[in-house]
Structure 1
């Protein structure tokens, strides 16, 4: 019984039985027959040796057969990554032993470790118990190690798609080139990460005069702007200078996240402030008092630039300094950074803070995957102050940052200054203290109250301590912050005596929250704690200098004492902007609508995106109420919001607007006003005073069309499709205005050409909306007319031409172009513009990219009948200009700069891959039509000379990098296929009385170079590589050699006219291959006499 199967040997077999086949563990065998516990077949490593072997020695593997026949391939149906690992490790095994023989010990040991690591990862994949995300990570690690080993051993670059090897026959050559180029560029120039994170781990504080508990506070400080840029990481140390809670190591470290590249500069510093908990004076007797105070101890700083060189995780010991004058404590880190040595000194000769620091690169999710152990135990996260550079939709934050700045107090009848401690509470509307809403920093759970450190005998203390108050939105209204001031006695009782308080409400009655900035608060006299229990008694008092609430005339006992705080709100739910509140409450004050709409552009973008849905509801509500009066203003506000989302800081909110349009938008009549106002603007593009505003309108056209389409859809649902004809007429008139606007020509750069460029850059984004109104053919015709109305490349300024080509590129990448019906309509206008640009040799990079996308799409849809017609159009329009373009760019000298040289190589490779893709897609009919299209033999002769010259260029060694064997083999396969088609034209048109020496000379010269290519010398390949090449392409030298023999025989006596150097080199080289040709040709070989 005959079968065809692929299996793996699980036990060695010596093959000592008659007709036995010797096998080793791990060999892959192909089964031809099976009978009574025995198989007959061959090992893939030596397919010529066939024999029998026991079936019990074999493990079955599922496989499929491709290209059945002489060159059939049996391919395992297992995961392609496993297949690649298996074959690669076999190749490495042989080369690894050679490394030992050549005494390359370092690479020998490194490769051995990598091979073992790959084997371990292979086991994990085979077991199949990995989650989807973990499987992706494992495959990423596997392919990274395979690529490293291949590079070290000088093996070929493997094109991959999502970690799996790609079959070059299954994808277009342009896509293959992009994959190869991406992997080559990734290997040479790794892309720098845009996000960075700082890992901080506290080890210990080394100091001789410890004995009290300590607080260590880390933060990032911008010395250029003189402000902190991060929250604080808070850590407690015991009396020995070691972290408390040693059983919880996650409490000893933190990750400062979302640092942009702008934060990695020399004027960003890691600052460490150390506070001791204990007696007022470090030298006091232990029993002097039982009250504990927070007192300054020391400070250390480190420039983040010091970490950039090595990203080291080695322990660092930072010097700890103490200020000479305690009143300078608030700025000790600044003095150390500025090296004002007179203001600080070392806390001790052997004092030092041992920490571990490491910079990590990549987005936070990538860090979580790569450093899973770091997050397993719940490491604390320290965020940047405020929002990150990019605000994400759905991000819920309501953090109020309060910096306790300074105070000015009287002596209070004492001969010396006070020792002032500030106690802060957050009190709700009922007078109850809110529990656990004051955060000292990450790494420490929130508390219900805050105690400042105490400066000895100082009536003007400066603290500069940053706190975070994560108060829920529902508790903001009616709540306030209360700061109580106490004098801390150094006497034996150690009393903390209340002498005053300040307060500040978190929200005003109109809904505005406490504005950002510094606030000078009034210090109210108070000596009894009981007076503070009923908050209603003091909330009627003024809280800030110059601010009085209501008509309260109650006298303030003193205004000489003041207390300063700085507030900063980071909230996705609350606003401090009065104009925003007025707009959202427009129904309350209808007389203010016009003013509110005018002021919208002045409101900060972060405030608008926080209330995006409410703001949009407000705008369309106003439009429904009075479109005649406010239609234009609402349109301008909508344009402003849409363009706001183009900002990189807010572009993640585009999905929020999309969701709003699809699920929440209710303006069924809005489309009328939107179409009318949009057309009004486009009809006035030539009016100079409006051009700047029209430019903003054109930038927003994508979302304007989305609102128009959704509005019309809602109207149709509500009315059963009424006024459909009227709506279509409005859209047609609008698009007629667009076509007229695009057809306007202007000499050189002008405001009009800038407007055309702005329109074209976003016009392709409108296609998907038009498809909701019309079928694909109608939309394709509309787009064809719009693009066809554009001026030619020889007119207008160059920037407009570049944008025009980009618009065509987006059209090719759009969903509209993937449909065969619309693609056939659009293809001629796309090719027309490409032809014009290539003819002028302008914007070659963009032209190459567009052509690449066209051929990628054609390959994906190669089974469709329409593709054959598209190939016809492309051949007629672009083949000639494509050949000339390659000849032109390859004849130029390479640029000197590395960036320009890479760009030059990219554009050359793109055009070459486009030509190869086109030739591979051409069928017999296409080649015949091409050859028949030449009206004279002279035109055919020029074409053949041109394409032979291009082929000689393509097979130059420097055309592709050394390790791009896959690309070279594909190119050679296309070249030899094309040459076989063209050989017939050569025989028919240029023999006998029409013999043309130059064209025959060019043909044979190409053939010699082709056969002599290093990448075709199969004898130099590893056995597995040779087998793969033969299975896929055969020996292309043999094919070309047979064709050479046939063509040489056709020459007859004319061969003497072929240059003897070419003939000699041809046949001397071919002597070694003639024995291969004999079997194939079955005839006698003739030599030059």
Structure 2
């Protein structure tokens, strides 16, 4: 409900128009047009998952791994989530409350429109070969037998109905049927099921029964969903997206390296049958000590010190495709490496698993860059004695063909098996580590000053996420390079300004919109470059003075679009300098500031279709600059600057885009602090009325003009209400209304 007495006529009309639009939306589509409109603004989504029942009798303990899979790109988009089931059945296994539920986090809008499938991999945990006949002797001998992870079956389900479900209040129940195929094809059985091709058969169970799950979508920031649904999150694990979400929140801390053991090629070794190969993954630090509890084979588990893969029976070219998350403290990453140990597992139950080789990969190179994303073909070195691995003597050897940190000519205790290889895939999701040597060279510019120019050029080509993740460190480095200690420019000032503008432009993208408060906090609390205001003013003026000399207008447009943050830095820098010197060089600062606005006004007066988009960019962003300037200039001076810019070009023979931009600038200025000051408002109102009168007369952009007039009237209405509440007479308000009537009233009647 609204109070019509407390609102201006214009505001009341806007409420009515919005209400009418919403009612039309409901009548057009009873299925929820309004909801759909709201969802467009939501950038992050989360999928609640719960396994309700497991309708298969395996005979041994079972591990079922659930993950989300993009069938078009043929890749998983989430970690795996594990539900354990005892051999007695699903209902008899209760490890802890909600161990069968998770939330797949951080799905983006694009993910909702993709062909996403839920994929379940069912693993049998027990003997190498299981049969019902061996079950009778199991009770007496099982404790002394080796336990293996063996592939059993795969189930899939298309999630389109769940992801696009309009009724968010209800969980959707799904039934997944489990299928079996040849063991060697287990890693790609889900693809065969999606395409409905290849050899596979359904696992026996009751009709229309299988793995029963329920799922439900949640929309918005995870922190808010947790607050709204505290019981839902109690003891429920989170299953992360592989990669960063569409919206990266400031304060998000993540330091995960995903390692997927893809496949291997092994020699038969004189045997008539293939090996039963198990891969053991472990992580060792720079001191060659085992890092404990840093490996997660899936969410829903506690961290372990080593991870054991499944075993493909009698196969020398096994494909595992198992994903493991490594989560290490940041200080442990440098010097750490992953070791993969390969063992043959005999079908004779009491035999130990026999080590026959190993591979390794360093997590960071000597320059401090983390292992790059992608596929790595690792060498396999022969070793049958585990004690030989204890001192990590193999670290002097190359891990793969292009490993330049290992000595390819070295002859040591380990010989390489030239016909054997293992392929792994890595993906880094870290807000603390970078894989980019270009970014590292910028952050460590003092170590190699001769590379600064090249580093800055390379940073311009960096991925968006890398720059935003290290925003504070990057900005510190850039301002150190921007000017000398006495405030003079350096050889790199122009290039640094270019990089700064590129960073500010990134923050306009929806993915990084939440980082604007981070930049504000940096400027307010951390920024300390008290002399950079000189160089920043010069850079902006240079862009305005030489706008016609630039072949490409995009860099200049980015500069003008970023003026809000450029001027926040200018003003904070000037305030820091003023406090430190008791206001020295105030006249010089003002002169430089006025010179900048003089150049901007001249640029706006140029008639050229090439620079029109650049002029539009300036007018769209300039009102935010006036808000900043009142901290260093009297309000009336800022108002005169604003008025002068609005008058910098005559309306006649001007492109429509520029007229629209000027009117938007006027509308934005009406909402600034300038309009709240009585003396400033008198100047701005007179100026605005002159422009509105012209556009009303010639019937140009009438909608925008009436919007501006509505903003002015609403403001004056609120000011009058405030005066009445305080029982004061504000003569300025009456004068402003007279100005409006004299300037606009007759024109409105004629129009």
In 2, the alpha carbon distance for the partners of 1:848 and 1:233 equals 57
Secondary structure of 2:376's counterpart equals strand
Q: How does 1:340-489 map to 2 (within 5 A)?
A: 340=197, 342-348=198-204, 350=206, 352-375=210-233, 377-489=234-346
State the number of aligned residues: 712
Residue 865 in 1 paired to residue 731 in 2?
yes
Q: How does 1:846-861 map to 2 (within 5 A)?
A: 846-861=704-719
Structure 2 counterpart of 1:622: 481
Cα distance, 1:884 vs structure 2: 5.8
Structure 2 counterpart of 1:768: 627
Pair 421,737 (structure 1): closer, same or farther in 2 beyond 3 Å: same
Secondary structure of 2:299's counterpart equals coil
Equivalent position to 2:385, from 528, 550, 558: 528
Residue 268 in 1 paired to residue 116 in 2?
yes
Secondary structure of 1:374's counterpart equals coil
Decide which structure has greater helix share. Answer: 1
Once superposed, what is the RMSD of the aligned Cα atoms?
2.2
In 1, the alpha carbon distance for the partners of 2:617 and 2:553 equals 11
Residue 231 in 1 paired to residue 231 in 2?
no
Secondary structure of 1:870's counterpart equals helix
Cα distance, 1:811 vs structure 2: 1.2
Pair 766,267 (structure 1): closer, same or farther in 2 beyond 3 Å: same
In 1, the alpha carbon distance for the partners of 2:128 and 2:387 equals 27
Equivalent position to 1:728, from 574, 579, 590: 590
Contact 1:503–1:543 (CA under 8 A) maintained in structure 2: yes
In 1, the alpha carbon distance for the partners of 2:594 and 2:434 equals 43
Contact 1:401–1:567 (CA under 8 A) maintained in structure 2: yes
Pair 635,455 (structure 1): closer, same or farther in 2 beyond 3 Å: same
Residue 201 in 1 paired to residue 67 in 2?
no
Secondary structure of 2:154's counterpart equals strand
Structure 2 counterpart of 1:510: 367
Secondary structure of 2:429's counterpart equals strand
Structure 2 counterpart of 1:1030: none
In 2, the alpha carbon distance for the partners of 1:244 and 1:591 equals 67
Which structure carries more relative contact order (alpha carbon 8 Å, separation 6+)?
Answer: 2
Cα distance, 1:548 vs structure 2: 4.8
Q: How does 1:1042-1081 map to 2 (within 5 A)?
A: none
Structure 2 counterpart of 1:583: 442
Cα distance, 1:246 vs structure 2: 3.1
In 2, the alpha carbon distance for the partners of 1:884 and 1:198 equals 59
In 2, the alpha carbon distance for the partners of 1:295 and 1:569 equals 28
Residue 691 in 1 paired to residue 553 in 2?
yes
Pair 244,757 (structure 1): closer, same or farther in 2 beyond 3 Å: farther
Cα distance, 1:469 vs structure 2: 1.1
Post-superposition Cα deviations, 1:589-610, rounded to whole Å, max 9, x if no partner, equal 1111111122220111211122
Structure 2 counterpart of 1:817: 675
Structure 2 counterpart of 1:543: 399
In 1, the alpha carbon distance for the partners of 2:92 and 2:703 equals 61
Cα distance, 1:419 vs structure 2: 0.5
Pair 277,595 (structure 1): closer, same or farther in 2 beyond 3 Å: same
Pair 372,835 (structure 1): closer, same or farther in 2 beyond 3 Å: farther
Contact 1:391–1:650 (CA under 8 A) maintained in structure 2: yes
Structure 2 counterpart of 1:714: 576
Cα distance, 1:253 vs structure 2: 0.9
Residues 405-414 or 238-247, more deviating = 238-247
Pair 606,174 (structure 1): closer, same or farther in 2 beyond 3 Å: same
Structure 1 residue runs of 5 or longer lacking an equivalent are 1-157, 160-166, 886-1089
Contact 1:214–1:275 (CA under 8 A) maintained in structure 2: yes
In 1, the alpha carbon distance for the partners of 2:230 and 2:440 equals 44
Residue 874 in 1 paired to residue 732 in 2?
no
Contact 2:80–2:298 (CA under 8 A) maintained in structure 1: yes
Equivalent position to 1:303, from 158, 173, 186: 158
Post-superposition Cα deviations, 1:735-773, rounded to whole Å, max 9, x if no partner, equal 111112222334xxx112111101111111101221122
Contact 1:776–1:821 (CA under 8 A) maintained in structure 2: no
In 1, the alpha carbon distance for the partners of 2:223 and 2:18 equals 23
Cα distance, 1:880 vs structure 2: 4.0
Secondary structure of 1:425's counterpart equals strand
Post-superposition Cα deviations, 1:376-432, rounded to whole Å, max 9, x if no partner, equal x23222221111101112111101111111111111222110010111111112222
Structure of higher CA gyration radius: 1
Structure 2 counterpart of 1:647: 509
Equivalent position to 2:148, from 281, 284, 293: 293
Residue 490 in 1 paired to residue 343 in 2?
no
In 2, the alpha carbon distance for the partners of 1:545 and 1:580 equals 25
In 2, the alpha carbon distance for the partners of 1:559 and 1:853 equals 77
Secondary structure of 2:6's counterpart equals coil
Cα distance, 1:201 vs structure 2: 0.8
Contact 1:235–1:444 (CA under 8 A) maintained in structure 2: no
Cα distance, 1:250 vs structure 2: 1.9
Pair 868,431 (structure 1): closer, same or farther in 2 beyond 3 Å: same
Pair 212,723 (structure 1): closer, same or farther in 2 beyond 3 Å: same
TM-score in terms of structure 1 length: 0.63
Secondary structure of 2:4's counterpart equals coil
TM-score in terms of structure 2 length: 0.90
Structure 1 counterpart of 2:726: none
Cα distance, 1:280 vs structure 2: 1.7
Secondary structure of 1:627's counterpart equals coil
Secondary structure of 2:439's counterpart equals helix
Contact 2:380–2:416 (CA under 8 A) maintained in structure 1: no
In 2, the alpha carbon distance for the partners of 1:453 and 1:243 equals 25
Residues 730-739 or 239-248, more deviating = 239-248
Structure 2 counterpart of 1:212: 60
In 2, the alpha carbon distance for the partners of 1:348 and 1:843 equals 71
Q: How does 1:799-814 map to 2 (within 5 A)?
A: 799-814=657-672
Pair 248,176 (structure 1): closer, same or farther in 2 beyond 3 Å: farther
Residue 831 in 1 paired to residue 682 in 2?
no
Cα distance, 1:553 vs structure 2: 1.5
Cα distance, 1:331 vs structure 2: 0.9
Residue 172 in 1 paired to residue 8 in 2?
yes
Cα distance, 1:544 vs structure 2: 1.4
In 2, the alpha carbon distance for the partners of 1:714 and 1:734 equals 21
Pair 458,857 (structure 1): closer, same or farther in 2 beyond 3 Å: same
In 1, the alpha carbon distance for the partners of 2:347 and 2:335 equals 38
Equivalent position to 1:248, from 96, 110, 121: 96
In 2, the alpha carbon distance for the partners of 1:465 and 1:833 equals 67
Equivalent position to 1:559, from 408, 418, 427: 418
Secondary structure of 2:504's counterpart equals helix
Q: How does 1:895-906 map to 2 (within 5 A)?
A: none
In 1, the alpha carbon distance for the partners of 2:595 and 2:400 equals 61
In 1, the alpha carbon distance for the partners of 2:176 and 2:159 equals 13
Structure 2 counterpart of 1:105: none
In 1, the alpha carbon distance for the partners of 2:736 and 2:379 equals 80
Cα distance, 1:688 vs structure 2: 4.7
Pair 425,247 (structure 1): closer, same or farther in 2 beyond 3 Å: closer
In 2, the alpha carbon distance for the partners of 1:507 and 1:243 equals 45
Cα distance, 1:545 vs structure 2: 2.5
Contact 1:516–1:567 (CA under 8 A) maintained in structure 2: yes
Structure 2 residue runs of 5 or longer lacking an equivalent are 27-32, 724-729
Post-superposition Cα deviations, 1:451-496, rounded to whole Å, max 9, x if no partner, equal 1111011111111111111111111012111111111110142431
Cα distance, 1:349 vs structure 2: 5.1
Pair 579,366 (structure 1): closer, same or farther in 2 beyond 3 Å: closer
Cα distance, 1:221 vs structure 2: 0.7
Contact 1:745–1:791 (CA under 8 A) maintained in structure 2: no
Structure 2 counterpart of 1:601: 460
In 1, the alpha carbon distance for the partners of 2:432 and 2:501 equals 23
